[in-house]
Amino acid sequence: MSTQTAPKSIYTLNAGGAPSAEVNRLNKQQSMIQLVCPNIPPSVLAQLPPSPAIADVATGSAIWLLEVSTTLPSTAVLDGFDMGVAQFPSAESLPANVTLRVQNALDELPEEF
């Protein structure tokens, strides 16, 4: 996880509530979406290179990246970007190939991406 400090969040679903409540909502939402579609459609999965690099913009709790990390090889590079760290899981709980970073989707990505 990035050591950057996040600017004050403009994410309105954080307002007035505990971050864990929003994490629970995001994770439940992901579970519901999976009922109708897989994380990565089989036709896309079959075409990925052996070590794919995937970006998840507005990653929130990173639930999608964490689930995808169990499907893809450990050599996959999985980067999550979000405006704030309030929903990020602890860095210690992340697989080695998952990195979370503070990034506004409207700003230019750092050069390494």
Q: What is the pLDDT of residues 9-57, one digit of tens each?
A: 555 555 545 567 777 888 788 777 777 777 788 888 899 999 999 999 9
The identity of residue 12, as a single letter, is T
pLDDT at position 18 is: 53
Which CATH number is 18-102 given? 3.40.50.150
pLDDT at 3 over 50: no
Give which of 65, 52, 51, 61 is closest to 98, Cα–Cα: 65
Which pLDDT band holds residue 94 (cuts at 50, 70, 90)?
A: very high
Is this prediction's pTM over 0.95? no
43: Cβ–Cβ under 8 A, 6 or more apart, which residues?
none
What ranges do the domains of the chain cover? 18-102
